[in-house]
Structure 1
Amino acid sequence: MLTAHVVFATITGNNQDVADIVTEGLEAQGCQVQETEISQTDATEFKTADICVVCAYTYDGGALPEEGLDFFEDLPQVDLSHQVFGVAGSGDTFYGDDFNVAVDRFAAAFKQSGARQGAPSVKIDLEPGQADIDRLDAFAAQLVATAQHPD
Structure 2
Amino acid sequence: MAKWLVAYASMTGNTEEIAELIVEGITQSGYEVDLKSVTDFNAAEVLKYDGFMIGVYTWGDGELPDEFLDFYEELDELDLSGKRAAVFGSGDTSYEQFCGAVDLTAKKLLERGAEVSSEMLKIEYSPLEQEKEMCRDFGRRFTATDVQVS
Instruction: Give the alignment's TM-score, normalised by structure 2.
Output: 0.90
Give, in whole Å, the separation in 1 of the partners of 2:133 and 2:73: 31
CA contact (8 A) 2:22 2:137 kept: no
CA contact (8 A) 1:44 1:78 kept: yes
AA partner of residue 18 (structure 2): V
Give, in whole Å, the separation in 1 of the partners of 2:111 and 2:138: 21
Partner of 2:111: 112
CA shift for structure 1 position 78? 1.0
Partner of 1:98: 97
CA shift for structure 1 position 28? 1.0
Q: Which segment drifts farther, 132-141 or 46-55?
A: 132-141
Matches within 5 A, 1:2-151: 2-95=2-95, 97-118=96-117, 120-146=119-145
AA partner of residue 54 (structure 2): V
CA shift for structure 1 position 146? 3.2
Q: Which segment drifts farther, 52-61 or 125-134?
A: 125-134
Q: Which runs of 5+ in 1 are unaligned?
A: none
SS in 2 for 1:98: coil
Q: Deviations over 1:38-71 (max 9, x none)?
A: 1112111100111211111111232201011011
Give, in whole Å, the separation in 1 of the partners of 2:66 and 2:119: 25
CA shift for structure 1 position 117? 1.8
CA shift for structure 1 position 131? 2.6
CA shift for structure 1 position 119? 5.1
AA partner of residue 133 (structure 2): D
Q: Which segment drifts farther, 136-145 or 120-129?
A: 136-145
Question: Percent of counterpart pairs with the same letter?
Answer: 32
Question: Would you identify which runs of 4 or more consecutive aligned residues in structure 1 move more than 4 Å?
Answer: none
CA shift for structure 1 position 142? 1.9
Give, in whole Å, the separation in 2 of the partners of 1:4 and 1:39: 18
SS in 2 for 1:59: coil
SS in 1 for 2:144: helix
Q: Which runs of 5+ in 2 are unaligned?
A: none
CA shift for structure 1 position 124? 0.4
Give, in whole Å, the separation in 1 of the partners of 2:118 and 2:17: 19
SS in 1 for 2:109: helix
CA contact (8 A) 1:56 1:89 kept: yes
CA shift for structure 1 position 148? 8.7
Instruction: Give the alignment's TM-score, normalised by structure 1.
Output: 0.90
Q: Is the alpha carbon distance of 1:142 and 1:19 closer, same or farther for their aligned partners in structure 2, counting shifts above 3 Å?
A: same
